[in-house]
Amino acid sequence: MRIAVKVVLIFILTAIGYILTISLFIADSKFGTPIFSRAILPFLGFGGIPIFLYFISFFLSKKTTPRLFYDKWLGVYVQKTTAPKWGGAFTHIFLIINTILFLLITLQKYSPDTLSGLVDKLAHRDHHITDCINAYDQKQYELAASSCLLAKDSGNGEVLNVLGELYTLGNGVPQDYQKAKY
């Protein structure tokens, strides 16, 4: 019974981990720079097996893995085995190397200029959103258009609505009904 409870807890925690990972994928896709989610990628699928085994080892006994038990209804025998001393070290090294390699592969696509530009873009995006909405409310259409064009990739509904209205009316930007369909 105790093992069944542990297995259920492990599956629940694993499901929570996958949900968090998927939410990170979604968050990274909104920013347009999936650096973190690409670093997690090797741990999904077969790459996640050592992590899963390492996680299970915390729930099992320190001396034996798996524990000695006999189930007379199923007729299953599991012999007592000692856990290898190098197993935990191998898992730690595997996790560290995988994370470093995938971060290097991902960051290789971005030069230092691009990374600093990315940080500036993320830091100033919220500023452009508020400038866009405030300038439109104050009927400063040219300022609103420039701020909205810089913030249009944020996915903010108000920004897209304001930009659509600016394109429809031709205020601050050339009138274009195709681009107005945000």
Let me know: does 43 contact 88? Beta carbons within 8 Å. Answer: no
List the domain boundaries for the chain: 2-107, 112-169
- Please say whether the dihedral angle defined by the alpha carbons of residues 114, 117, 122 and 128, taken in this order, is positive or negative: negative
Name the pTM for this structure. Answer: 0.35
| CA angle centred on 173, ends 170 and 174, rounded to 5° | 65
DSSP annotation of 64 reads B
- Taking only the tens place, the pLDDT of each residue in 5-25 is 777 777 787 778 777 767 766
Q: Of 136, 125, 138, 128, which is closest to residue 173 (Cα–Cα)? A: 136
User: If you average pLDDT over each of 42-56, 89-103, 109-123, which comes out highest?
Assistant: 89-103
Would you say residue 79 has pLDDT above 60?
Answer: no
